[in-house]
Structure 1
């Protein structure tokens, strides 16, 4: 069984970092999906691709994979630098603001 261990990125619709501090172990597909001729749904006999195990740390995920004989590929996260403005959000509405109003 092949799997990958990674830390999920934040969603595109959110600026928060919820659900990004855990590590996931996710199995890769062992067979291709097929289209059902009657309904048009995609399906597969591979139930392992539906399994997502959640761990608090990377070490726990790696240890679980090695104990259970899972060939795991580890992907390190690419962290962004935080965008911190000097005046913060309130600077948009400051009375002594210099420069053109852009809103």
Structure 2
């Protein structure tokens, strides 16, 4: 069995960093998907692709994969510098602004 270990990125609808601290072990697809000729649904005999295991750390996920004999590939996350302004969002509405309002 093959699997991928990664740290999930935040969604486009998310401004915070909730649910992005943990690590996920996701199994790779072993067999091809088939199209049902009657209904047109996509199906597969491989049920492991539906499994996603969550871990608190990368080491815990690697330990689990090693104990179960799973060949795992680790994908490191791309980190970015946080965009934190000195005054924050409320700085836009301060009555004694020194800069010109841009809207």
TM-score, normalized by length of structure 1? 0.91
Counterpart of 2:64?
Answer: 64
CA RMSD in angstroms comes to 1.3
Deviant stretches of 4+, over 3 Å: none
Q: CA offset at residue 33 of structure 1?
A: 1.6
Q: CA offset at residue 31 of structure 1?
A: 1.5
- Structure 2 residue matching 1:91: 3-state secondary structure: helix
Counterpart of 2:47?
Answer: 47
Counterpart of 1:91?
Answer: 91
* Unmatched segments (≥5 aa) in structure 1: none
Q: CA offset at residue 78 of structure 1?
A: 1.1
Counterpart of 1:15?
Answer: 15
Q: CA offset at residue 81 of structure 1?
A: 1.0
* Unmatched segments (≥5 aa) in structure 2: none
How many residues are matched?
103
- Give the distance between the partners of 1:65 and 1:83, measured in 2 at CA: 35
